[in-house]
Amino acid sequence: MLAAMARPTQQTHDEILAAATRRFAATGYRGTSLQDIAREVGCSKAAVLYHFANKEAILTELMAPAIEVLQALDDRIAAQDDPARAQQVATEGFVDLAVRFRGEIALLRGEFPELLQQPDFAHIHEISERLIAALAGRSSRDSARICALVLLAGIAETCGQFAEVSDEDLRAALLALLRRALEPVH
């Protein structure tokens, strides 16, 4: 029964996911059609929609692991009372997240605002606000929040472009940048 399962099923599913990742990364979510994905896989558009309920479901499954880790980071940050500790946890956690899921993050590009409107991603908006607050040392000063937001957005926007840089090197460079650039908790 288990071994009797037709082989191409999971394989095609994964191929569609991989192809979608590449296409989304190249032209964004909105800029990629189901036909584009099907062409890259070598199947029909209907086959794509056989394996996934709709276009958004592809994105949701694609982002699931990253969102899970983001959730865990949010919990760890929320557990910190000391702003300096929270800033440290947020810094290291976010850099790890960005490096590890740079491929997934890259394909969102500037479509965050629209995607966050969709119910599947609604809670991410609040998480990112808490992350920014933690990076800013929970300060209300404009300059601290500006620094945090610029760095967060900058890393999210660019981390997918450093394919030739190793995880360790990228992690070290981003950590050094954040340590230098974020305003310290006074």
Partner DNA sequence: CACTGATCTGACCGATCGGTCAGCCTCTGA
Partner DNA sequence: TCAGAGGCTGACCGATCGGTCAGATCAGTG
Least distance to DNA from the beta carbon of 161, Å? Answer: 24
Q: Which does 118 bind (CB under 5 to 8 A by kind): DNA, a second copy, none?
A: none
How many CA atoms lie within 13 Å of 33's alpha carbon, on the beta-carbon side?
Answer: 6
Q: Which is nearer to a second copy, 57 or 150 (CB)?
A: 150
Least distance to DNA from the beta carbon of 114, Å? Answer: 13
Please give the radius of gyration of the chain, using alpha carbons only, rounded to the nearest integer: 19
User: From the list 26, 33, 78, 141, which residue makes contact with DNA (rule: CB under 7 A)?
Assistant: 33
CA distance 74 to 90: 8
Q: Which is nearer to a second copy, 86 or 151 (CB)?
A: 151
CA distance 43 to 16: 9
User: From the list 40, 56, 111, 157, which residue makes contact with DNA (rule: CB under 7 A)?
Assistant: 56
CA distance 94 to 92: 6
CA distance 148 to 134: 9
- Furthest-apart CA pair in the chain: how many Å? 64
Four-point Cα dihedral 141, 128, 155, 175, nearest 10? 70
Q: Which is nearer to DNA, 12 or 91 (CB)?
A: 12
Task: State the residues that interact with a second copy by CB under 8 A.
Answer: 27-28, 30-31, 108-111, 113-114, 142-143, 146-147, 149-155, 157-158, 161-162, 165, 169-170, 172-174, 176-177, 180-181
**Is the dihedral angle over the CA atoms 17, 22, 23, 28 positive or is it negative?**
positive
Q: Which is nearer to a second copy, 15 or 157 (CB)?
A: 157
Cβ atoms of 136 and 82 within 8 Å: the answer is no
Least distance to a second copy from the beta carbon of 133, Å? Answer: 15
Residue among 141, 126, 119, 142 at smallest CA distance from 186: 141
Least distance to a second copy from the beta carbon of 150, Å? Answer: 4
Interactions with DNA, residue window 36-55 (CB under 7 A) = 36, 43-47, 49-51, 53-55
Binding site for DNA (CB under 7 A): 1, 3-6, 8-9, 12, 32-36, 43-47, 49-51, 53-56
